[in-house]
Structure 1
């Protein structure tokens, strides 16, 4: 399998996944925020702490990370296109 094909595949997958979260399509970033809060609450209950869980990350943080991943996907895709020339 050529390097260009691998870079194009990984780049497009990163771009789609990152932009899905960055643009908050179908509430992806909000879902990640709720999931992190639920996991933090479960971890606190497992330790025996019954107080409110601390906030791990906001939806804005997940959207920022999604933007970074989408930009990395563009770089990988361009690298794959340049490799195929």
Structure 2
């Protein structure tokens, strides 16, 4: 699983892999802005939808000193899907 995890693309707009992001964090990126500045992840034309993965990945590393096997996306700020109305 290691190779697939490392080549996973986190930021599709700027084609930034998880490996690149993890390396930036290991090299001292301690904020989302540091990650953006170092890798260009999170600042694409989509408006930064990958930030929902970047934040939890960074937080996990800062708390544990390692990276999670699976990134748990932060969906707390995401609007709920529209409900269909019965006609």
Which structure is higher in RCO with an 8 Å CA cutoff and minimum separation 6?
1
TM-score (norm 1): 0.30
TM-score (norm 2): 0.29
Considering fraction of residues, name the structure with more helix.
1
Considering fraction of residues, name the structure with more strand.
2
